Amino acid sequence: LLRAQNLKEFEKKVTEFRLANGLRFIVAERHEAPVVSFHTYVNAGSVDDPSGETGLAHMFEHMAFKGTETIGTKDWPNEKKALDAIEAVYDRLEAERNRGPKADEGKLGALEAQVKMAIDEAQAYVQPNEYARVIEENGGAGLNAGTERDSTEYYYSLPSNRIELWFLLESQRFLHPVFREFYKERDVVMEEHRMRVESNPQGKLQQEFLATAFAAHPYRNPPGGWPSDIANLRRSEARDFFEKHYVPANIAIAIVGDVNPADARRMAERYFGALQARPLPALVHTQEPPQPGLKMAIVDSASQPVALVGYKRPDQYDRDDAAFDVIQLILSSGRTGLMYKELVQDKRIALAAQAIATFPGGRYPNLFTFLLAPSLGHSVEENEKALDDLLTRFKAQPVDAATLSRAKTQARAEVIRRLANNAGLAALLTTYAVNYGDWRKLFTAIDDLNKVTAADVERVARHYFVPSSRTNAYLAQPGQGGRQ
């Protein structure tokens, strides 16, 4: 199952088409139940945030749920005037702030009060949560979105007799985004950062780990942005980000379930055809400079000690990408992984020992990452040494045939599991379509895994798991560093 030879059979149920503006649709028929899952994949994530404006990708994700010129408003013409009034006052506030130490404190206070008053006036026109309410009242389920480093994705399911409602709602939020409640939502995002990072030791560790590992590349930035950037984001900047990155050719949409492809195409033309074709945005050109040697970060915390160990690796388009996936499965595939067997089960020095093949994103060179959580009475140092010993042996001799075969079987099983439901299939189809130019890569990727040999595993591990490309980050008791 799931080999390239199964592709022809699967293709019979899949219809793919592009609109004249470049927007791609992938429709997969599954008529077992009267339900359809929708997945919109935008090839823009936090890695695309402009310098000094980190958090914009995440902010637009929030804005996309705030409705349109017809949904979420009590009176759009007057709401628009009120929103424009906020920006006019905010422009004056920002101009005064930009005077730095010469800024007039009294004027700043007055302008801040005017901004708050303008926001309150605009709020009076808002119909809160109407976008979500319309979906839920029509039987929608799983309404959500996520901003990753490489992408922003929107998804939910509807009964099959409500397909046209999805086309209406989804097209409107990309045709007529209004950036409603922007500054109120900015405060929500700030609070999210406090909860996920500042009040979460492991979130703080991950932030420091990436900021240490990457000196230049924007993978170093938190997906939600740096607090000082978030606090100064403007509604106009979010619109600029949308105009640049939410172009039809930068988006793929999958529709999976009880759907007629001809009907889907007709509705796609009707509702999305008005989107204007625009040039694709530029890729990130910043390249990470060669690492001068081992890097280290320490986060003081009284919580459970944890270590993150990362090795620089190439992007997901590299010829060895499949080998990295196989290595991850051999080392860290549940209870059968070598790390679990050795550190958790046999030596009992760890509560958790995991490997992640691609982190924090795959579009650009990234990190092969290990996570170690010592058990009671054992130290991060002890766990790190055990990992190093394991990797030394792993690099010294080819993995045995049974272990290699088991890893490949687990990879196939995981993809099959995700294919089993409509939402999982929709996510996979868009991911492969955008990242590799063809959803069929979903099948050929399994063949790529099957071609990985024991010699490939040994070669890749030897080449990339080296001290000069390594970053260590520790969650440690204050004053003890990583050696506790």
Q: What is the pLDDT of residues 236-281, one digit of tens each?
A: 999 999 999 999 999 999 999 999 999 999 999 999 999 999 999 9
Distance CA 236, CA 56 (A): 11
Question: Between 56-63 and 235-245, two packed helices, what is the crossing angle to 10 degrees?
Answer: 90
Residues 6+ apart with CB under 8 A from 449: 322, 325, 326, 408, 411, 412
Asked whether the bond before 222 is cis by omega within 30 degrees of 0, the reply is: no
Query: Average per-residue pLDDT in the chain?
Result: 95
Is there a domain that residue 107 lies in?
no
Same domain membership, residue 304 and residue 415: yes
* Domains held by the chain: number: 2
Q: Could you give the CA distance from residue 171 to residue 70 in angstroms, rounded to a whole number?
A: 12
Q: What is the pLDDT of residue 484?
A: 45
Identify whether residues 362 and 221 lie together within a single domain.
no
Rg, Å, the chain Cα set: 25
Residue with tokens 């990470």: 288
Looking at the domain assignment, is residue 263 inside a domain?
A: yes
Q: Tell me the longest C-alpha to C-alpha distance in the chain.
A: 74
Collect all residues with Cβ–Cβ distance below 8 Å to 451 and sequence separation of at least 6. 322
Q: Is residue 90 part of a domain?
A: no
290 part of a folded domain: no
**Residue 365 pLDDT > 80:** yes
pTM: 0.94
pLDDT value of residue 481 = 55
- Tokens 């959803």 belong to 439
How far is the C-alpha of 349 from the C-alpha of 229, rounded, in Å? 41
Q: Are 246 and 427 in contact (CB under 8 A)?
A: no
* pLDDT for res 416: 83
Q: Which two tokens stand for residue 460?
A: 């890749």
pLDDT, average across residues 83-88: 98
Q: Among the three residues 219, 239, 272, which one is the final residue of a domain in this structure?
A: 272
Task: Verify that 179 and 214 share a domain, yes or no.
Answer: yes
Q: What is the mean pLDDT of residues 209-229?
A: 97
Instruction: Pull the structure tokens for residue 16.
Output: 């793919």
- Across 4-8, 98-102, 111-115, 265-269, least confident range: 4-8
Contacts of residue 4, Cβ cutoff 8 Å, sequence gap at least 6: 443, 444, 446, 447
Q: What is the DSSP letter of 484?
A: -
pLDDT tens digits along 344-362: 999 999 999 999 999 999 9
What is the pLDDT averaged over residues 194-204? 93
Give the strand pairing for 251-257 and 24-29: parallel
Give tens-digit pLDDT for 278-325.
Answer: 999 999 999 999 999 999 999 998 889 999 999 999 999 999 999 999
Q: Assess contact for 239 and 38: CB atoms under 8 A.
A: no
Q: Does position 443 have pLDDT exceeding 50, yes or no?
A: yes
Residue 48 · residue 284 · CB < 8 Å: yes
Same-domain check for residues 388 and 460: yes
State phi, psi for 144 to the nearest 5 degrees: -165, 180
Please say if the pLDDT value at position 107 is more than 60.
Answer: yes
Q: Alpha-carbon distance 252 to 233, whole Å?
A: 27
Are both 135 and 13 inside the same structural domain? yes
- pLDDT attached to residue 444: 86
Q: For residue 424, tell me if it sits in a domain.
A: yes
Please give the average per-residue pLDDT across 215-220, as a whole number.
Answer: 98
Last residue within a domain, chosen from 238, 272, 306: 272
Beta 470-476 vs 295-300: how paired, if at all?
Answer: parallel
CA distances from 192 to 59, 172, 188, 238 (A): 12, 27, 6, 18
State whether 244 and 342 are in the same domain. Answer: no
Banded pLDDT at 2 (limits 50, 70, 90) = low
Is 398 found in the same domain as 249?
Answer: no
Does 85 reside within a domain?
no
Q: What is the pLDDT of residue 479?
A: 65
Q: Which residue has the higher pLDDT, 418 or 136?
A: 136
Say what percent of the chain tops pLDDT 70. 98
Same domain membership, residue 66 and residue 136:
yes
- Helix (H) or strand (E) holding 256, with range, is strand 251-257
Q: Tell whether 62 is covered by a domain.
A: yes
**Is 169 within 8 Å of 134 (Cβ atoms)?**
yes
Give the pLDDT confidence of 378-389 residue by residue, as tens digits.
999 999 999 999
| Residue 335 shares a structural domain with residue 449 | yes
Q: Which candidate, 320, 284, 362, places its Cα nearest to that of 465?
A: 320
Q: CATH number of the domain that 181 lies in? A: 3.30.830.10
Residues 337 and 472 in one domain: yes
Please tell me whether residue 413 adopts helix, strand or coil conformation.
helix
334: containing domain: 295-476
H or E element, residue 255: strand 251-257
Q: Do 318 and 264 lie in a common domain?
A: no
pLDDT tops 80 at residue 114:
yes
Residue 388 in domain: yes
Domain match, 54 and 186 both: yes
pLDDT at 482 over 90: no
pLDDT tens by residue, 15-70: 999 999 999 999 999 999 999 999 999 999 999 999 999 999 999 999 999 999 99
Choose between 412 and 315: higher pLDDT: 315
